[in-house]
Every structure is written in C-alpha cells, then in structure tokens.
Structure 1
Amino acid sequence: MWPSLQRWWGVILILVAVCATVWLGVTQQLVLYIHPRYVVFTVVMAGIALVLGVLSIAVRPADTEGSAPRRGWSRVVGGLALLLSGAVALTLVLIPPTTLSSATASQRDIVGSTVGSDSQNVDEVENADDELLASFTVVDWASLLRQTSDPSFYANKTADLVGFITASEDDPSNIFYLSRFTVTCCAVDAQPTGVAVYAPEWQNEFEVDGWIEVTGSFETNPSSRSDLPLVLVPETMTAVERPSEPYLY
C-alpha cells in the first residue's frame, strides 16, 4: 500500500507542478519568475515532464520487500519528502504570483546598485534627441547618473519613467526612489535600480510599492537631509497599472 501511495503521490505532484507552470505560461505570468527568453523552453520542458509522468503510471516496477527496519526508515523519509513536496506544489497553485517589492529592493541595496552601469554612455547621450530620451528606462537614467552629476549635462533633457515607489531612508517625506528590478535569469537574481524623485509629501497621493509614471527633469537636490547630488523633479506624476512585464532585461 505504502509504495503504491508513494508512486501515485509523486505523479500527482508532477502533474500539479506541470499544470501550474503551463498555466503561468499561458497567462503570461511566468515572466514574474524567469526571463522571457526561457518561457518557451520552460513550457516545453513542462510538457515533456507531463508525458514522462503519464508513462510512469504505465511502467510500474515490482515492489520489493526489504527488512522491517529498512522499510520503517523508508516510510519516515518518504513521508517527510511527500509533505515537503506537497507544500511546494500547493504553494504554486494557491499563492498568486506577485512581483518583487520595495522590501526586496531595500534589502538588495537599491542605492548602491550598479545594474545597467554601462547601458548608456554620457558621450553618446550628450546630444540625444527627444525620441531617444523617451525610450530610456530607469536603468538607463540610473546608469547616466552614476557616470556624471553635472547639472548642465541634464539640461533640456526630459525623463519619462515608469516604476514602483521605494521610500528613501534619508528623507522619506520628500524623496522616494522610482524603482525597477532587472532580471538576468530569474527572479532569484533580480537586482534593483532606481532614480531619486524629489516630491515633498508624496505619501499624501501615492503609496509605497505603487506603480507610477513620472515626467520631469534632473536638477540639483533641494533636500538638506539627502546627500544625493541630483534628483528627478517631477512635472507630472500619475498612478498607473503594473506593466505586464514589470522587470527590465
């Protein structure tokens, strides 16, 4: 009875995990866990796992008895393994997928992040037109800010950015970070980056982790509590829905 239960339970767990993976892929939520370039591969592998799981039902090796102590130890280990794997499978199904939050960004040091440090070059952007600047993301502007804090470089350059709010530690009443995560492989290696936005009493209108679009220019930081040389001073700030692909790549 016990060996049979072990085999069937394993197949059930495989089917649950496979179905959850395929569902995430079909609903375009798999990108919350892995880089988009791996989505097709992952879904294909899930399909193969499904086929192998079905075949394992048809091909069943004969049960072997073994000694009583050995069978007892096997049952204990097997039971623990089933409980753990069952919890993982249920987590995939019952807990809705979400993006990484400002708490993760703070833990991974958004201020000191060097993600995308070479995504743009100040010499090439010096005379960039409005069309090119409109395509820049949080990562692009953060990379430029790490290279130069000369206010004259940012004169007449307008930034139009979308990200989520992470509160500043130095001056949380007046400054927040417009943040995004960049993903190389999966959410485990996601790294935060962001630009500081000077918006006094921003909490009256927006909340931490809320997604907003900010349009403005980079100017000398007016805050006396923050040592950041430049901040994004908004012309407009608008709450927006989370993008279908919240991470940058």
Structure 2
Amino acid sequence: MWPSLRRWWGVILILTAVSATVWLAATQQLVLYIHPRYVVFTVVMAAIALVLGVLSLAVRPMSTDEPETRRGWSRVVGGLALLVSGAVAISLVIVPPTTLSSATASQRDIVGSTVGSDSQNVDDVANADDELIASFTVVDWSSLLRQTSDPSFYTNKTADVVGFITASDDDPANIFYLSRFTVTCCAVDAQPTGVAVYAPDWANDFDVDEWVEITGSFEVNPSSRSDLPLVLVPETMTAVERPSEPYLY
C-alpha cells in the first residue's frame, strides 16, 4: 500500500492544487492572491502541470525496490513530505480565501510606506478638476500627503475613498488609517498604504478591518496625541462590502 500511495500521491496533490486554482479563478477570488494580469497565466500553467503530472505517472517505473539500508529513512522522510504537502494542498480548498488584514498592514509599516510615490504629482493636481479629484484612491492621496502638508493645497479638494480600518498607534481612540494594499505580483509582495482619518470614538460604530467609504476633506490634525500634520475629516462614513478586487495596482 505504501508504494502505491507514494506513486499516486503526486497526482493527487496536483489534482487538488489545480482544482483549487481553477475554482479560485472561476469565482474571481484568485485576485486575492495574485495580480489580475497573472490570472490567465496561472490557470494555463495549472493545466500544464496537470498534464505533466499525469504523463510522469504514466512513464514512472513500477518497481519500488530500494536498498534495505535506505528503506527506513526513505519511509520517514517520505511520510513527512506527504503530510506537509498534503496539508498545503488541502488548505487551498478548505481554508476560505481572504484578503490581507490590518495586522499585516501594521507589520509592514503603513505609516512609513512609500507605495505609489509617483502616482500623483502636486503640480499636476494643484488645479485639477473635480472629476479627476473624485477618482483619486487612497494611494493617490497618500502620495500627495507625502509631498505636501500645506493645508491650502487641499482646500476645495474633496476625497471620496474606500478602504479598510487599521487602528492608529498614536491615538487609536480618535484616529485610524483608511488602508489598502498594492500588489505588484502576488500577496507576498503586497505593500500597505493609507491615509489618517480623524473620527473621535470611531470604534463605537466600526470595527478594525471593516471596509468603509469616506467622503471628506484634509484638515490640520486636531489630535494632541498624534504628530501627523493633516488628517482626513469625514463628512460621511459608511460601511461597505469588500471590493471584488480589494488590492490596488
């Protein structure tokens, strides 16, 4: 039984991983792990992996003889490999796909992030029309805030942004970061960015990691516990569903 299990295990794992990949792509959840431009490539490669796995099984020698001195260690190592690889493959199917959270954002330094540093230029935005301003994401506003903290620059510029809540370390009762991740290739290289939002007692109405849409303006930070020069002061703040593509690119 052991030789048979080892012979078929590779194909079982390939089938499991391929099935999980195709299912994630079909349900539009593969973008929780990789950049959308790689979805088609990933599905194609999964199909190729399936074909190669079946072919390797077909041409693999039936003999399972091995030296007696190596048989014991081979079984131990093989058993551990089966256990680990099986757990990884099965987790793709059992564990619900989800986005990166505020915990990851905090670990990757959302405050010092330089993500999207070239997404918007102060000179170009100074006299931008309302339509362009309305299209700005968290990444765009974060880029502008790194370039200038002059309150007059943000006069008559209304932000309308969507993101998830990450609590501030300096003044968590009154300030949180409206956060998003940007992805270049996959979730492993995801980098957080965000804008500070001043909303006293926000935790009474919203939870950490909850997705919200905020409309408001950037003003001088009224918090005495935070050294951020400007914060987004909401005019409206509404809980929303997580976007189908939660990462920015």
TM-score (norm 1): 0.98
**Cα offset, 1:14, TM superposition:** 0.8
Name the CA distance, whole Å, in 2 between partners of 1:63 and 1:225: 71
**Cα offset, 1:71, TM superposition:** 1.8
User: How many equivalent residue pairs?
Assistant: 249
Structure 2 gaps of 5+ residues are: none
Residue in structure 1 matched with residue 134 of structure 2 by the alignment: 134
**Cα offset, 1:53, TM superposition:** 2.4
Residue in structure 2 matched with residue 176 of structure 1 by the alignment: 176
- Give the secondary-structure state (helix, strand or coil) at the position aligned to 2:235: strand
**Cα offset, 1:75, TM superposition:** 1.2
Matches within 5 A, 1:72-83: 72-83=72-83
Residue in structure 2 matched with residue 29 of structure 1 by the alignment: 29
Matches within 5 A, 1:188-203: 188-203=188-203
Name the CA distance, whole Å, in 2 between partners of 1:83 and 1:69: 23
Question: Which one-letter code corresponds to 1:77 in the other structure?
Answer: V
**Cα offset, 1:197, TM superposition:** 0.5
**Cα offset, 1:119, TM superposition:** 0.7
8 Å contact 1:14–1:50 — kept in the other structure? yes
- Give the secondary-structure state (helix, strand or coil) at the position aligned to 2:145: helix
Residue in structure 1 matched with residue 239 of structure 2 by the alignment: 239
Provide, for residues 147-169 of structure 1, a one-character-per-residue CA deviation record: whole Å limited to 9, x for no partner. Answer: 00000000000000000000011
Provide, for residues 49-70 of structure 1, a one-character-per-residue CA deviation record: whole Å limited to 9, x for no partner. Answer: 1222233343331315232111
Residue in structure 1 matched with residue 93 of structure 2 by the alignment: 93
Name the CA distance, whole Å, in 2 between partners of 1:79 and 1:150: 63
TM-score (norm 2): 0.98
| 1:222 aligns to 2:222 (yes or no) | yes
| 1:210 aligns to 2:197 (yes or no) | no
Name the CA distance, whole Å, in 2 between partners of 1:129 and 1:238: 25
Name the CA distance, whole Å, in 1 between partners of 2:88 and 2:66: 30
Identical positions, percent: 86
Question: Which one-letter code corresponds to 1:114 in the other structure?
Answer: T
Name the CA distance, whole Å, in 2 between partners of 1:188 and 1:57: 32
Name the CA distance, whole Å, in 2 between partners of 1:112 and 1:64: 56
**Cα offset, 1:3, TM superposition:** 2.5
Q: What RMSD, in angstroms, separates the aligned Cα atoms of the two structures?
A: 1.0
| 1:39 aligns to 2:39 (yes or no) | yes
| 1:69 aligns to 2:69 (yes or no) | yes
Question: Which one-letter code corresponds to 1:36 in the other structure?
Answer: P
Residue in structure 1 matched with residue 48 of structure 2 by the alignment: 48
Question: Which one-letter code corresponds to 1:220 in the other structure?
Answer: V
Residue in structure 1 matched with residue 162 of structure 2 by the alignment: 162
8 Å contact 1:3–1:63 — kept in the other structure? no
8 Å contact 2:199–2:233 — kept in the other structure? yes
Name the CA distance, whole Å, in 1 between partners of 2:185 and 2:136: 22
Question: Which one-letter code corresponds to 1:113 in the other structure?
Answer: S
| 1:185 aligns to 2:185 (yes or no) | yes
Residue in structure 2 matched with residue 153 of structure 1 by the alignment: 153
- Give the secondary-structure state (helix, strand or coil) at the position aligned to 1:91: helix
Question: Which one-letter code corresponds to 1:200 in the other structure?
Answer: P
Question: Which one-letter code corresponds to 1:24 in the other structure?
Answer: L
